[in-house]
Structure 1
Amino acid sequence: MAEIRRIATDQRRSRAVVYNGMVFVGGQTADDRSQDIRGQTRQTLAKIEKYLADAGTDKRRLLTAQIWLKNLERDFEGMNEVWDAWTAPNAASTRATAQCELGHPDILVEIIVTAATAD
């Protein structure tokens, strides 16, 4: 039976869960919510990169991403600019982007990813 490893767990959630060769990184948002979409996206991706490293993998092994934007029309281009610069060359994951009401009014972007482990 495969072991389940939880990373940065509290009563409500784990930031990442490793199971059966996969890393599931829960929804991440920026800590400094005074930033514009580019700043919030950079912060969010940095957090994701850290949790992937904690799980023993990296962004080159991304399988899929879900991106939630507060305002798709206003923020899609800026978020994509940062996303495109961040993704590893020739390692683009599948991806879906949607607009939704996020957990706090000053959150502009939330990102969820799944990656393969390095094992």
Structure 2
Amino acid sequence: MKMSEITRMETAQRMSKIVIHNNTVYLCGQVGGVVDVPSTITEQTETMLARVDALLEQAGSGRDLILSATIYVRDMKDFAGMNSVWDSWVPEGQAPARACVEARMARPDLLVEVSVIAAVR
């Protein structure tokens, strides 16, 4: 049995930003800022989703091909604000399977993170 090819993009010691296997794209967790982190959940969600768009495009995919998303919010009080941005970002009729959980973030200024799995065009 031949193993399918695995493509890794933007790879560092700890992780790859993009991994493609069997026409499926896996993105590492994306947050709403790296250096100048916006202060509100809506701004961080917008920035985070713009980063997802860029990585999906680089991988030959798009938001209409997202299969699954796991969203982590620092505090569920921000759930509605995050959803207001998410709902307008997801193409109508193309909503992926999704989970959203409250989680401690890697840094205290981060409010939201998403991990995405998508199909390749």
Normalised to the residue count of structure 1, the TM-score between the two structures is 0.94
State the alpha-carbon separation in 2 of the partners of residues 96 and 21 from structure 1.
Answer: 22
Deviation string 1:83-119 (CA, Å, 9 cap, x unpaired) is 001001110001000001010001000000100111x
Gaps of 5+ in 2: none
Aligned-partner Cα distance in 2 for 1:35–1:41? 11
1:60-80 per-position Cα deviation (integer Å, ceiling 9, x unaligned): 0010000000001x2000000
CA RMSD of aligned residues (A): 0.9
Once residues 37 and 27 of structure 1 are traced to their aligned partners in structure 2, the CA distance between those partners, rounded to angstroms, is 16
5 Å-filtered alignment, 1:24-43, equals 24-31=26-33, 32-43=36-47
SS at match of 2:67: strand
Q: Which letter does structure 2 place at the counterpart of 1:77? A: A
What is aligned with 1:117? 120
User: Which residue among 46, 52, 61 is the counterpart of 1:48?
Assistant: 52
Structure 1 gaps, min length 5: none
Q: State the Cα deviation string for residues 14-34 of structure 1 (Å, max 9, x = none).
A: 111011010001111022323
Whether the 8 Å contact between 1:68 and 1:99 is mirrored in structure 2 is yes
TM-score, L = length of structure 2 = 0.93
Which one-letter code corresponds to 1:76 in the other structure? F
Identity across the alignment (%): 38
Hey, what does 2:20 align to over in structure 1? 18
Match of 1:92 in 2: 95
User: How far does the alpha carbon of each residue in 1:27-73 deviate from its partner, in whole angstroms, 9 at most, with x for none?
Assistant: 1102232330000000000111111001101000010000000001x
Q: Structure 1 runs of 4+ off > 6 angstroms?
A: none
